[in-house]
Amino acid sequence: MNTVFPAFRRITLPLAACNTVTQASRAVLAVVGPSLAVEFSLSATALGLLSAWMFAAYACSQLPVGLSLDLFGARRTLSVLSLVAAAGFACFALAGGLAGFEIARAITGIGVSAGLIGLMKGNSQYYGRTQMAAMTGYAMMIGSLGGFAATLPAHALLPLIGWRGVFWLLAAAACAIALWVWISVRDIPVSETRERRSLASEIAVIGAIYRARLFWRFVPAVSMMTMLNFTYQGLWSGPWLRDVAGMDGGARAGTLTLYAIGLLLGSSVMGQASSRLQARGHHPLLVPWIAGGGLAVVQILLILRPTQPAVVTTIWVLMPFFASAGPVGYTVISQMFPRDQVGRVTTAINTLTVAGVFLLQTTIGQILDLWPRTAAGGWDPHGYSVALGFTLVLQVVAAWCAVQVGTRTEGGVLF
């Protein structure tokens, strides 16, 4: 503990704070999105694209961000990008229409693109193999506080400062976190003596990772959990609660706050359980596999369109609880590759994940637009069920890929 705590305080904690900005940037649109849709007459497709712009920019940033972490370290990379995220929030607060919102979301996506990679890279350097999942879980738990802040507290502030004021507060928070990272974090050595990689060699390593059979075997199932979390926390949970469950603004914000709490609890529980089971010789992906099954059940329940408040709330707490096993799976998969490739492996997984979120958010919007808008300006509940059926099928296909080939464990590493 004497060796773990200083690293957690100096490295993991401020880097986890960067993830609070990331989580807030995803969750805030679920709160203000319904208002924006009415105020600016946005269709479901337009709203989905608006949210997805951040993930598109996030995906495009992954390769240069991975290179930056290797060449310049987490301190400079995350400090600068946190300021970029602040600029994105400020641009959103100043925007007067869809085009401005899309540009602002893209800037924000670039700004939050290094949080998870920098965190996992730092953890891989400072903690042992069986500690990484637990420490990553703790960090993701801290990061989920951003999702909490962007729900009920943000909704409570809306009558006082409006949605533009909420985005100005997010900009200020991102600036403060940039300063914290700059003061606290010291550049994390990728290795003590490894030479710097050129962009060409970085691309070559990424290409080798993408060609690896085990990458395509395990990553789709793990990524799908995170895709679903980002897709619904980032946008479609709020409209679902309005159009299917019939909740007003306050009730939606309360449920979305509990969603954030479910993510917070899940991050801690999943990380701890994975580390303990792995230390006892169990399959490293056991926890993500179990959580994936739970997430499938949650989607089936949502397809049935429950309306009882207690049932609805329970389901939306369980979704992030199970989905929080996604980053735990990232940690496990990164251990299947050489230690000095952890950043690039995480980059490869992240790119696939956020590209998937872009497609899911826009596809769900297109599915919802197949039905006429309701009298209240929302979308037909049947469309949500069809969309959930679509994502459930994708998750089943991803799980099928993961079980096609037998596995063996040698020295704690999957092959």
Length of the chain: 415
pLDDT at 411: 36
What tens digit of pLDDT does each residue of 300-339 get?
999 999 999 999 999 999 999 999 888 888 878 877 887 6
pLDDT at 188: 52
**Which is it for strands 413-414 and 409-410: parallel, antiparallel or unpaired?**
antiparallel
pLDDT at 413: 37
Is the torsion defined by CA of 101, 107, 111, 113 positive or negative? positive
Q: Is residue 195 very low, low, confident or very high in pLDDT (cuts 50, 70, 90)?
A: low
pLDDT at 301: 97
Task: Say if residues 65 and 120 touch (Cβ distance below 8 Å).
Answer: no
What tens digit of pLDDT does each residue of 35-47 get?
788 888 888 888 8
What amino acid occupies position 380?
D
Closest alpha carbon to 357 in 386, 326, 331:
326
What tens digit of pLDDT does each residue of 339-374 get?
667 667 877 888 888 888 888 888 998 999 999 988
255 versus 234: the higher-pLDDT residue is 255
Q: Which CATH class is domain 4-186+198-405?
A: mainly alpha
pLDDT at 199: 60
pLDDT at 318: 95
User: What span, in angstroms and rounded, lies between the C-alpha atoms of 55 and 339?
Assistant: 27
Token representation of residue 12: 């993991």
189 versus 148: the higher-pLDDT residue is 148
Token representation of residue 292: 């994936």
Token representation of residue 66: 């991975």
- Please report, for the chain, the start and end positions of each structural domain, with discontinuous segments joined by +: 4-186+198-405
User: What span, in angstroms and rounded, lies between the C-alpha atoms of 283 and 296?
Assistant: 21
Closest alpha carbon to 350 in 201, 210, 190:
210
pLDDT at 153: 81
Q: Is residue 384 very low, low, confident or very high in pLDDT (cuts 50, 70, 90)?
A: very high
Q: Which of 2-6, 7-11, 211-215, 244-248 is least confident? A: 2-6
pLDDT of 291 strictly over 90: yes
Burial 397-406 (b: 16+ CB within 10 A, else e): ebbeebeeee
* Mean pLDDT value of segment 8-36: 80
What tens digit of pLDDT does each residue of 61-102 get?
877 887 777 677 778 888 999 999 999 999 999 998 888 999
